[in-house]
Amino acid sequence: MSKNVELINNSNDWNEWIEDAISKKLIRYYEYKDFSNIQGIGSGGFAKVFRANWRNSHIRYALKSFININNATVKAIVREIQLQRQVDYHDNVIRFYGVTSSIKENQRKEYSLVIEYADNGTLRSYLKENFENLNWNDKYKLSFQLVHAVSCLHEEGIIHRDLHSNNVLVHQHAVKLSDFGLSKSIEETSNSQSKAFGLIPYTDPKSFNRSATPLYLLNKKSDVYSIGVLLWEISSGRPPFHGTAYDVGLAISILQGLRETPIPETPKNYIKIYTDCWNIEPDNRPTINQVIDELKAIIIKENVIIKDFHLYNDNKEINQSSINHQPNSNTEILENNSSSFYENSQIIDFTEVKEIESSISSNNQTENENDFNIIVNNIINFFENSSFEIGKQEVLNYFNNQNIILQEINNLLLNNQNNPNYIFLLGKFNHLGIGIDIDKKKAFELYQKAENLGNAYGINNLGDCYFYGIETDIDKKKAFELYQKAADLGNANGIYNLGYCYQYGIGTDIDKKKAFELYQKAADLGNANGIYNLGYCYDEGIGTDIDKKKAFELYQKAADLGSVSGIYNLGYCYLNGIGTDVDKNKAFELYKKAADLGNADGITNLGYCYQHGIGTDIDKKKAFELYQKAADLGNANGITNLGYCYQHGIGTDIDKKKAFELYQKAADLGNANGIYNLGYCYQHGIGTDINKKKAFELYQKAADLGNANGIYNLGYCYYYGIGTDIDKKKAFELYQKAADLGNANGIYNLGYCYDEGIGTDIDKKKAFELYQKAADLGNANGITNLGYCYQHGIGTDIDKKKAFELYQKAADLGNIIAQYNLAFMYEKGKGIIKDISKAIYWYEKSAEQGYQDAQNKLNELKLQI
């Protein structure tokens, strides 16, 4: 670099060094003004860490700013940047993105590192908060990810030397290794003995003996020792020697052989791994790759699903000795020679900083390739982890937020077609027309090419092509096979899609228990669709027992991950009190959120809220517009509800022919409500000629789909012989079935059957109870007949006042029988003071609706006056 590194001995020189690196594009610079919602999340003796949103988006970064910049910290910061760039291509290492700067009170520019934000905090806090919910599959996954991350460091010739559960982070329930080489350098330089004691349980005890000759230097086997302690901590959920002072006495005890006790019910092969790791003799400890192999054996045996497990390739062994370690890279020379730096913080050899600078420059091409790998992996993760259907605009927005230049990415993908991830991503770009014209044929070919190379993303997307018939014939069996293949490779979307196939019998036999298990596996990998569908299984009892509370919790979790289906179903839970208390305002908000994300069901239900004033004011015009919007998106419920608006003039003029056409369209899409309403049109000649046989057939079809209205109306057909022969027993059975589904008309008619002995024995008490139940649901016939029961003492005691109140309630709802009965009560003074004028008023209301008995009574009263 142009700046002489030997002169970097204060913060100004450090700033110039960074600015030079930025100008040469060795380090990416982020504008500080682009960060918002900055909140402190941690601090130590040398740095403060903040969480911040970037460009007013959901994207979060961590900003690490340094306290008391001095000679020692300058060297350590430069060293961290160089080391971080070597290994942050690994999924389980916190990523370094660049730097940003802010102006402090004294007009001094302060640089901060921009790094990946870990939303679950430290491993220690994660275990404390979540341990009760972790099973052994979860513990194996955390252990494997941790060990594999350390192996990545060792492969690059880096020794961490400071592994403990407060600098191992967790993001989206996955391990993220951080602070390798930095925190230890600065903390030891500051001569903070209390900090050093804080690390004692994790530190290689060989280093406690300061009188040893030659002096024992921390090495790769020291990291293995720390791994052993961390594996025990993952199995126990608590820090080692919790409640014991981390002092010299503990250090001596550990040096003399003190170790933590295995937790009961810990698998024996897991205990063997961590006890081997914390062996006092470094030569008797396994290498990090041997630890990986032993964990892999457990994972394969226990059928543990780890996302993209196939990508964790076997590492090559690196020969080393525990003490007389021969360095194999400039980085390892730095690791071992830095002991003099630790012993005497006043002596700083800045030639090492020059080595780092030289290494950054000379390895720039390799690092650019690593940077591109990171970008590609991030884009793939954006596709894979998104809980909504991604279109071209969503991708372009993502690129804009990430400062990704589209043409550069396309060119690099085209020029690197030996890498299966690049092949897959180019296929995705062709599929969606990102930076190029849409070419689904090319996309299919690229997915096929990626599949041939064993790429899980390509395999899953090729399965989608066969599922939907994208540039190939629909072949559900082939789709199933490809989803199975992707699932076997640990691909979360493949596992989810496989579960969907088993749930609905796509390319295989229906196996709802298997579907449930696969959704559980996908959910364990953090897949939002898997979490949502797992909730649906608990909601409907698919492959498991119904558990509405669990369903609600899973919908909430899926919604928090941005799953639009989760948001919609969460709204449904709040509307109907499923697994939670009824909260109509919350339901409205969630439907609106789902609608704003383009979810057609959310749009439909938002329209329903406006139609009925649920969580908002009634706005029938708005309801109509939303139903229209959902219908334009092909949503069958939206089409049905739009038809209902045209039938009844809700937010638009009545157009019964249009209503009939829309019901027909919804019915063609298999919508049960559409089929039922179409049957109703044929029964009553709404927008078409009366055809009672057709009505019966459609009610039968809707009933077969479990539609409660269809079942009730099918019973009605059997009761009155509409489109079929009269069968009162069959009618009773269907009313019973509709009642069991909570259908108010079904409940009322079932009560009538018990009242009159239709298709069953007379049971007046049962009839009363059912009328009460129908009345509670607002059914006008139920309210009327309940009043009749109180008037005449049917299934209950006579209560004329109660009868009057119920007739009044049903009459206000427009029920003609209730209006007649209410008039009678006023005429005779039963349950109310006699009032002939009001009797005449209600007889007229009933007569206006065509009730002849009311007209007859009206005529009689007028003659008497």
Domain boundaries, given as residue ranges, for the chain: 123-320, 475-582, 595-653, 655-726, 799-865
Closest CA to 317 of 291, 280, 299: 291
Determine the topology of domain 799-865 in CATH.
1.25.40
Q: Which residues share a beta bridge with 115?
A: 62, 96
Helix spans in 741-779 (H): 744-756, 764-776
Structure tokens, 774:
């129908």
CATH class held by domain 123-320 = mainly alpha
Q: How far apart are CA 55 and CA 397, in angstroms?
A: 12
Position 319 scores a pLDDT of 33
Query: Does residue 64 have a known ligand-binding role?
Result: yes
| 437 phi, psi to nearest 5 deg | -70, 150
Strands 96-103 and 29-30: parallel
Q: Is the C-alpha dihedral spanning 322, 326, 332, 335 positive or negative?
A: positive
pLDDT tens-digit series, residues 630-644? 999 999 999 999 999
Q: What is the pTM assigned to this prediction?
A: 0.60
SS3 at position 170: strand
Q: How far apart are CA 69 and CA 83, in angstroms?
A: 19
Structure tokens, 408:
């550069």
Would 475-582 and 799-865 be classified into the same CATH topology?
yes
Closest CA to 680 of 657, 698, 653, 703: 698
Structure tokens, 764:
């007046």
Position 262 scores a pLDDT of 93
Give the contacts of 97 (CB within 8 A, at least 6 positions apart). 28, 30, 61, 114, 115, 116
Position 182 scores a pLDDT of 44
pLDDT tens-digit series, residues 451-491? 999 999 999 999 999 999 999 999 999 999 999 999 998 88
In order of 180, 187, 755, the CA distances from 326 in angstroms are 20, 26, 95
CATH of 595-653, one of 3.40.50.1580, 1.10.260.30, 1.25.40.10, 3.40.50.300: 1.25.40.10
Output the DSSP codes for 487-553.
Answer: HHTT-HHHHHHHHHHHHHTSSS---HHHHHHHHHHHHHTT-HHHHHHHHHHHHHTSSS---HHHHHH
Question: How many of the other CB atoms lie within 10 Å of CB of 859?
Answer: 11
- Give the DSSP letter of residue 651: S
Position 342 scores a pLDDT of 29
Position 647 scores a pLDDT of 97
Give the contacts of 581 (CB within 8 A, at least 6 positions apart). none
| 233 phi, psi to nearest 5 deg | -65, -40
Output the DSSP codes for 313-329.
Answer: PPPPP----SSS----S
Determine the topology of domain 475-582 in CATH.
1.25.40
Under a CB-based contact definition with an 8 Å cutoff, are residues 100 and 262 in contact?
A: no
Determine what percent of the chain is predicted with pLDDT higher than 90. 58
Closest CA to 368 of 306, 416, 418, 430: 416
Position 460 scores a pLDDT of 94
Q: How far apart are CA 743 and CA 737, in angstroms?
A: 9
- Decide if domain 655-726 falls under CATH 2.40.160.20: no
Residue numbers in the chain where pLDDT is lower than 70: 1-15, 44-46, 56-58, 67-76, 104-108, 180-198, 305-372, 385-394, 398, 402-403, 865
